[in-house]
Structure 1
Amino acid sequence: MKNCVRKSASTGVGSPNVWGIYEADTGSIQYLVADPSSGEAAVIDAVQNFDPRAARTDFKSADQILALAKEHDLKITWVLDTHPHADHFMASWYLKEQTNAPNAIGEKVTDIAELWRDYYHLPEAFNPKADFDYLFAEGDTFKLGELDVSVWLSPGHTLGSITYIAGDAAFVHDTLMYPDSGTSRADFPGGSTQDLWQSLQRILSLPDTTRLFVGHDYGKDGREPQWEATVAEHRQNNIHLAGDVSEADYRQLREERDATLALPDRMLHALQVNLRAGKLPEPEADGHRYFKIPANKF
C-alpha cells in the first residue's frame, strides 16, 4: 500500500482546507492544514521514515508534505505534534529546519520525558523545552493565518496528548480511530482508560458537523485507508462508543483489547527520538549515532 493524499475542503468562513497524507508503513496520517484566506498552513504529526531492520531513517514522507504545500502555494507557519508517538518517528525538527516555522507539542511532554529517562536509564536525556519552540497548555490558542486554533489536553493514549481545533476541524490523534475501528489503545506508560474515556466524551461534545481527523488507520478488512468522520458519524457508528455505552463497559472493553496487543515494533526506538523532537541521539566518538534499547523491561 502506497502513501496517498486526500483533501477535505473548507466548508466556509473560518473553516480550513485539510490534506491527509497517509504513511503506509505505520498506518499514520500526517496533516497539512491551511487557512484558505491567507495561504498559511500547519503540519500536524509529520513522519520521519524509519526502517527497523536496518535502523535507517529518511524524510520521504515529510518531503511529500513540503511538495504538497509548494503545489498549493502554501506557506508552512507551524510544525505541530499531538504527542510523542510510539509507532513512528517525528519529523518535527527537520520540517522546522526546512521551513523556519516554530515547532510545538503539549506541555506535558516534560512529564513523559521524565518517565522515559527512567526506562532508558538516561537521567540527563531529553529537554523538550529546548527542542520545541512552544509547549502548549490546556486552553491555549494561536493563529493560523486568520483562523483561531484552540488546544485541548486530551490524555488517555498518553498523559500529554493534545487536540488541535481549527473551526470545524479537530485533529484528535490517538483517541478515536475511524468509526469501524473504534478507539485507540491506552496501555502505554502514562496511559489511562479513564482519561481516554473523558477525552473521548469531550471530543464528542463538539458540534455534530465537526470534522474529526484521526491519527491512524489500518485499512480494516482490506478497505481503503480512511481518517475523517464527523462527530455525528462517530456518535452513531463508532463500534466502541455508539449506543448507550457506559464508562465502565467502555473501560473494560478497552483494557481487555489492550491486553492482547503487542508493543509497536518502533516504540523503543521512537520515544528516544521523539522526546528530542525527532532528532536522533548525538553522535558518539566514531561519528555515528546509536539507539539505546532497554531489555526485558516490557
Structure 2
Amino acid sequence: MQVHSFLHSDTETYTHILADTQQQVCALIDPVLDFDAKSGHTSSISVDEVIDFVREQGWELLYIIETHAHADHLSAAMHVKEALGGQLVIGQHITEVQKTFKKIFNFDTSFRTDASQFDILTNDGDTLKVGDILITVMHVPGHTQADTAYIAADEEKTVVFVGDTLFAPDVGTARCDFPGGDAKTLYQSIQKLLALPDDTIIYLCHDYPSAGRKHCPTTTVAAQKLGNIHVKDGINEAEFVQMRERRDATLEMPRLIIPAVQVNIDAGHLPDPEANGVRYLKVPLNAL
C-alpha cells in the first residue's frame, strides 16, 4: 500500500491517492477543482498534477471517492473521471443532503435527489477492493448527514481517510452548524474512529496548522486520543457538544459554501450552459 497526498493550498484541502503498487491500481480521494470566487473562473491546474502523477505511475484508477459533499471547495470528480475513468463513490446518505439543499437552492424538478449522479453509494460496513487493499466503509455523520470514512488495510498497515470529522490534534474537529449537522452525532462518530487501533494512520481532508507548524496530511489515532484539543481522552459527550455549539456560533460560513455545495451535491457537475453558452450558479440571499 502506498498513499500520496497533494495539498490544494488555496483551500488547504488534501487529495489522496491510495495505491496497490503491485497490481498497479489506485483510488483517488477528494479531488479539488480550482475556483476563483472573485471572477467565477474554474481551472483544473491543481488536480491535473494529481492526474499526471497517476499516469506517470502507470496505475489504473478504479475509484474516485468523495468523503462527503464539501462546503469549502468544488469537486474535480468529473474532470478526473473524464481523464482517468473510475467509478465515483459517496456515502448513500448523500440523498439527505441533496434534499436539504435542493430546497435551499430552489432547484427545479430536474435535479435528482436519489444520488443517481454517482456510480456507487456506500453504506456502513460495505467494502471495496483496490488490488489487495480492502476498504471498509464507516458512516461518520455529524458534520453533515453523509460524512463517510474509508478504512484501508492490507498485510502491512491500516489507514483511514476521515474527511471532515477530525483535524490535526492542534486544530480539533469539524463544525456541525450546517443544515443537517449535529454535534452529539459527530462526537459519537469520532468515538468510532478513535476505537480503531492506536497505530492507525489518519489521513486528513484538511489541515489548518497553528503558528509555527507546517501542513501535514496525517496523524494517528493515538495522537488524537492523547492531544486533540476537542476530543482527547477525558472529554465527554456533554463537554464536547457544549464546546462545539458555542464555537460554531462564532464561525462565519466558508467562503465557497454557496458555489461548492450546489456543484458537489450534483457529483461535481457544473450547471449546464444557458442559451448564451455561459454556466451560472445560484446565490440564495439570507438563506444560510
Structure-2-length-normalised TM-score:
0.95
Within the alignment, does 1:108 sit opposite 2:93 as a pair?
Answer: yes
Alignment partners' CA distance in 1, 2:150 and 2:108:
31
Checking the alignment, whether the CA contact within 8 Å between 1:272 and 1:281 is kept in structure 2 is no
Q: CA offset at residue 74 of structure 1?
A: 2.1
Q: Residue in 1 aligned with 2:37? A: 52
Checking the alignment, whether the CA contact within 8 Å between 1:120 and 1:294 is kept in structure 2 is yes
Q: Residue in 2 aligned with 1:160? A: 146
Q: In 2 relative to 1, CA 106–224 (structure 1 residues): closer, same or farther, beyond 3 Å?
A: same
Q: Residue in 2 aligned with 1:290? A: 280
Q: CA offset at residue 97 of structure 1?
A: 1.3
Alignment partners' CA distance in 1, 2:204 and 2:32:
15
Corresponding letter in the other structure for 1:238? N
Within the alignment, does 1:228 sit opposite 2:214 as a pair?
Answer: no
Checking the alignment, whether the CA contact within 8 Å between 2:170 and 2:209 is kept in structure 1 is no
Within the alignment, does 1:122 sit opposite 2:107 as a pair?
Answer: yes
Corresponding letter in the other structure for 1:32? I
Superposed CA offset, 1:168-213 (max 9, x none):
0100010100011111111111111011001100000001110011
Checking the alignment, whether the CA contact within 8 Å between 2:171 and 2:209 is kept in structure 1 is no
Q: Helix, strand or coil: the match of 1:270?
A: helix
Within the alignment, does 1:144 sit opposite 2:130 as a pair?
Answer: yes
Q: Helix, strand or coil: the match of 2:16?
A: strand
Q: CA offset at residue 227 of structure 1?
A: 2.3
Within the alignment, does 1:246 sit opposite 2:231 as a pair?
Answer: no
Alignment partners' CA distance in 2, 1:268 and 1:229:
30
Within the alignment, does 1:276 sit opposite 2:266 as a pair?
Answer: yes
Contiguous gaps of at least 5 residues in structure 2: none
User: Aligned-residue CA RMSD in angstroms?
Assistant: 1.2
Q: CA offset at residue 237 of structure 1?
A: 1.3
Q: Helix, strand or coil: the match of 1:84?
A: coil
Superposed CA offset, 1:43-82 (max 9, x none):
0000011000001111112111111212333221111101
Q: CA offset at residue 131 of structure 1?
A: 1.7
Alignment partners' CA distance in 1, 2:48 and 2:146:
27
Corresponding letter in the other structure for 1:60? I
Within the alignment, does 1:97 sit opposite 2:82 as a pair?
Answer: yes
Alignment partners' CA distance in 2, 1:294 and 1:252:
30
Aligned length: 283
Checking the alignment, whether the CA contact within 8 Å between 2:187 and 2:241 is kept in structure 1 is yes
Checking the alignment, whether the CA contact within 8 Å between 2:151 and 2:159 is kept in structure 1 is yes
Q: CA offset at residue 285 of structure 1?
A: 1.3
Alignment partners' CA distance in 2, 1:290 and 1:239:
41
Q: CA offset at residue 219 of structure 1?
A: 2.4
Which residue of the other structure, out of 54, 63, 71, is the alignment partner of 1:78? 63
Superposed CA offset, 1:90-129 (max 9, x none):
0111111111211111111111000011101114224553
Q: Residue in 2 aligned with 1:66? A: 51
Q: Helix, strand or coil: the match of 2:137?
A: strand
Q: Residue in 2 aligned with 1:11? A: none
Alignment partners' CA distance in 1, 2:40 and 2:114:
24
Q: Residue in 1 aligned with 2:191? A: 201
Alignment partners' CA distance in 2, 1:196 and 1:253:
12
Percent of aligned positions that are identical: 37
Q: In 2 relative to 1, CA 126–265 (structure 1 residues): closer, same or farther, beyond 3 Å?
A: farther
Alignment partners' CA distance in 2, 1:142 and 1:43:
13
Q: Helix, strand or coil: the match of 2:207?
A: coil
Structure-1-length-normalised TM-score:
0.92
Checking the alignment, whether the CA contact within 8 Å between 1:34 and 1:40 is kept in structure 2 is yes
